[in-house]
Amino acid sequence: MFNRSQVIAMLCAAQLLIACTAPFGLQARIASPLDKALRATVVNTESGQRLQILQPENLPPSLQNAQDIRAILDNSNSVYPVTRNADGTLSIPLPAGRVADSTGLIELLLSDNAGGSWLLRFDTGPLVTLQEPPFQVQPAGAAVVGATWQLGLNPAESIDNSRYSFNWFASASAQGPWQPLSGMDAKVRWTPAQPGNYFVRLDLRERSSGAVSTIISPAPVVLAQAADDIVLTTPADGRVLAGDRIELQANLPHLPTDTPLIWSYGSSPQGPWQPIAGQTQGLSWEPPAAGGYFLRLQVSSAEQLETYTSSRVLVTAVSADDVLQTLPASGSILRGESVTLSASLPELPAGASYSWSFAPSPQGPFTAISGSGPSLEWLPEQSGSFYLRLRVQLSPTDVRTYTSGEPLVSVSDSDSVFALSPQPANLSRGESVVLALRETPPPARRISWAYALSSQGPWQAITGQGQNLRWTPPRAGSYFLRAELSGGSEANAILSSASALVNVSENSNAIQVSPATGQRLGQLVRLRANLPGTEANARYQWFVGPSAQGPWQSAQTLDSQPESAELNWWPGQAGNYHVKVDLLQNQQVISFVSPQPLVFISAAETFFQVSPQPANISTQGAVEINAFFQPPAGETFSYSWSAAPAPTGPFIALGGSNQLRFNWTQPGQVGRYFLRLDARSNQSGRVVSFLSAEPLVTVGEASQATPRF
């Protein structure tokens, strides 16, 4: 507050100001001070501090409407211009050192352009009275990044929060820069993203006047520590052997000790995160594989989910490669060879059990290896690179698992163990290859063979066993080979080729016919299997059908050896015929089918001749039937004649003859009839049959029959 001498000096300065500011030319009027201090705010700008009068409507009326206002702030006779802002507030520059008193009051003299002057008081103090410390902060002490702090004002007495708006800020320095916090309530929650010690600032604004009080904590009140030690480990360095367990203890002092936690681990602080079983603040965990792991703790509450993530690797699982050993040391073997697995472990108590397994990746799935013990022989049945895992059970509750951090066993297929003849085995379908191993196994060893179209199978067994096994591939394709050795004192072994060793091409000329064209019913057709390389004792079965899919019927023949590579076939009726031959050798059956018809028998009737022509007779009439059949030289035949209303029968026996002529008299039953001839060899007893392509005899009542002259 100004004392009496200061006020007199300021009034004199005001009088001087009025006298020297013509054209005002007005007599000075010093008004009585207002009883109530007006609200103002001290604002920091680049040019210095300014006093901002927030409620100009509370000024004396002449000042409210004055075009020009001047301010005298002290007895230095200095006059300062008053600026009217766009929002109606007034701004007055404050000289250096001109500050409010301890209660926040500041007095000054304002003069208008009408010659009036007013000594006014302005209140720049806090909008509310605060206790020490000015803020309420929970948690009050240090906490780990991931924790959420609650911030609130600490007033000396109850205030009406609805009168104010709250703008919260935080900074690592009392001078800023300031980070705005989310929320404009009297209390806010904030989760720092980075470790640090943070000051808190509140800009408290009175809604009615627009007055703002800025409150800054005198010291950092949010102490966010790095999450390096959110979990304490045993052992303390966090290093364990892959397969061993590590003890974890949450280190979050600001939480109650019974707070449930959600545990998870990841290979980076960004995840992805995998759960760890258990919700207590201390637990035992077995890392899934060798590697370094970040840890994450989460606390779920009704308000939000707090997340604490370690900023560094807290658990390191060391590879078990030094514990698990192989012989040969490289672990590289050919399929069919065995590898010795052993574990170099400290002396374990008697009664410990060992379980070995393997997998193509450290994440599995792992497949059990037959056998137990700290050392065993393993014969891999498939090629590839394999991780090893050993589980050692010391007690029902103490199981230790050791998983290699890299593949320790590499199994390769090899073509060099096979000896084939011919070599290379490039065959036409129907040809054979001799299968053998380059190194002949002992006599007590059995060799079982299999083939597949890929190295992964599925594998089909080859009939027969042993060294130098002759095999005829069943169809065209490229075949991998597998030999399984068993018996004797040695362990079973499986040898597989790394590539297709047998290549079989389709035989497009496997079946030949003669004559190629112009066949007619009653003449033989010669069928020949063009299958070089077949064995002398191979057998052939011949079939004919209307399509490449059948249905198939045996090719009728008069040959004394019908299972030969050549066959004299007597077509039994008109049609276009596909031919199939089954090759039987080495206890295998291999089929060859012509993709197109090879034999064409004309439907024009030239085999059977009837008289009269057409043969339309009565039930008491007669018809003479002749057949065109060219029997093999040197053979005599007996002939059986039959008729049926359909080509599929039922056939009625008409009689027999020794010649290719027959008289059918008094048919007796009305109908239209197909004719069939069965020719039986008097030497071999074989029979071939011939059927007309259409009905050749029509039997009607006597009145309907065609007259015979």
Q: Per-residue pLDDT for 357 more than 80?
A: yes
Mean pLDDT value across residues 389-398: 85
**Residue 339 CB contacts under 8 Å (≥ 6 apart), including other chains:** 326, 327, 328, 331, 333, 377, 378, 380, 409
Q: What is the pLDDT of residue 501?
A: 93
The token pair at 317 is 């699982």
pLDDT tens-digit profile of 192-213? 888 899 999 988 888 877 778 8
Percent of the chain topping pLDDT 70: 93
- Which whole-number Å values give the CA distances from 579 to 258, 552, 555, 599, in the listed order? 86, 9, 9, 8
User: E strands along 323-405, which residues?
Assistant: 324-327, 332-334, 339-343, 353-359, 367-368, 375-378, 384-395, 398-403
Q: What is the pLDDT of residue 490?
A: 75
Q: Per-residue pLDDT for 566 more than 60?
A: yes
Q: Which residue has the higher pLDDT, 341 or 706?
A: 341
**Residue 549 CB contacts under 8 Å (≥ 6 apart), including other chains:** none
How many beta carbons lie within 10 A of that of residue 596, not counting itself? 7
Are 595 and 587 spatial neighbours (Cβ–Cβ below 8 Å)?
A: no
- Mean pLDDT over all residues of the chain? 85
SS (HEC) of 13-44 = HHHHHHHCCCCCCCCCEEECCCCCCEEEEEEE
The dihedral over CA atoms of 346, 347, 350, 354, expressed in degrees to the nearest 10, equals 30
Phi, psi of 321 (to 5 degrees): -60, -30
**Rounded Cα gap, residues 227 and 313, in angstroms:** 11
Specify the 3-state DSSP secondary structure of 573.
Answer: coil
What pLDDT band is residue 32 in, cutting at 50, 70 and 90? very low
Are 643 and 652 spatial neighbours (Cβ–Cβ below 8 Å)?
A: yes
Q: Per-residue pLDDT for 180 more than 80?
A: yes
What pTM value is reported for the model? 0.44
**Rounded Cα gap, residues 353 and 189, in angstroms:** 55
Phi, psi of 540 (to 5 degrees): -130, 135
Q: Per-residue pLDDT for 4 more than 80?
A: no
pLDDT tens-digit profile of 591-606? 899 989 999 988 777 8
Q: Is 473 exposed, middle or buried (0-12, 13-18, 19+ CB in 10 A)?
A: buried
Percent of the chain topping pLDDT 90: 37
Q: What is the pLDDT of residue 26?
A: 31
Q: What is the pLDDT of residue 479?
A: 95
**Rounded Cα gap, residues 691 and 689, in angstroms:** 7
Q: Per-residue pLDDT for 24 more than 50?
A: no
Q: Per the omega criterion (within 30 degrees of 0), is the bond before 551 cis? A: yes
What pLDDT band is residue 555 in, cutting at 50, 70 and 90? very high
What is the DSSP annotation of 438-477? SSPPPTT-EEEEEEESSTT---EEEEEESSSEEE--SSSE
The token pair at 382 is 């498939």
SS (HEC) of 580-600 = EEEEEECCEEEEEECCCCCEE
Q: What is the pLDDT of residue 703?
A: 59
pLDDT tens-digit profile of 73-118? 877 778 888 988 887 888 898 887 777 787 778 888 888 877 788 8
Q: What is the pLDDT of residue 104?
A: 76
The token pair at 463 is 């009939």
Question: 260, 225, 248, 226: which is closest to 139 by C-alpha?
Answer: 225
Q: What is the pLDDT of residue 21?
A: 40
Q: Lowest-pLDDT range, 85-89, 543-547, 612-616, 660-664? A: 85-89
Give the pairing type, strands 425-428 and 502-505. Answer: parallel
DSSP state at residue 64: H
What is the DSSP annotation of 83-134? EEPTTS-EEEE--TT----TTSEEEEEEE-TTSEEEEEEEE-S-SS-EEEEE
Cα angle vertex 485, ends 483, 488, to 5°? 165
Mean pLDDT value across residues 115-124: 84
**Rounded Cα gap, residues 265 and 317, in angstroms:** 13
**Residue 139 CB contacts under 8 Å (≥ 6 apart), including other chains:** 147, 149, 254
Q: Per-residue pLDDT for 670 more than 90?
A: yes
